[in-house]
Homo-oligomer: A and B are copies of this chain.
Amino acid sequence: MLLHLDFASDVPIYLQIRNQVVLGIAEGKLQTGEKLPTIRALSEECGINMMTVSKAYQLLKQEGYIQTDRRSGAVVCHNIAQSGPQQETLKALKLHLSELRLAGLSLDDTLALCKTLYEEEAL
C-alpha cells in the first residue's frame, strides 16, 4: 500500500489519503480485514502531520470503510456495502457526467469509459 501525495494539489492531504484508501479497497490492493499502517507510521513515512492522517482515518471510519480496533489499529471493514450509495456521491457523479457530456462524449462513449474504469478496479 503506497500513497502518492501531491502537496501542491487543491485536494487536501487528508482527503487524498482517504481517496487512495477507498481506491485501494476497490482495487483489491487492500483486502477486507487487512490492517492499515498506524497513524504514526504513515505520518512519518509521508512526512506529514499525525493529525492529518488521523483526520483521514476518522473520515474513513465514519464512512464505514474501516474500523478501529483498540488492539490492532485500523482494519478494512468486512461489511462495507450496507447503506447503498451516498447522496453526495450521486450528486458528484452526475456533475462529472455532465462535464464529460459537455466535453463531447456521447452516451456510449461515457458508458464505455465507466465500464473501463469500473473494471480497472475489479482486478
A residues apposed to B, CB below 8 Å:
7-9, 12-13, 19, 22-23, 25-27, 48, 62, 65, 67-71, 80-86, 89-90, 92-105, 107, 110-111, 113-115, 117-122
Contact = CB atoms under 8 A, between A and B. Distances in A.
Nearest to A8: B67
Nearest to A22: B98
A35 to B, nearest CB: 13
A101 B83 contact: no
A75 to B, nearest CB: 9
**Chain A binding surface SS class:** helix
**This chain: copies in complex:** 4
Contacts of A101: 26, 118, 121-122
A118 B105 CA distance: 11
Contact of A121 (B80, B98, B117): B98
B22 A102 contact: yes
Given A65-B102, A99-B86, A101-B26, A94 B107 contact: no
A107 B115 contact: yes
Given A23-B98, A111-B114, A71 B103 contact: no
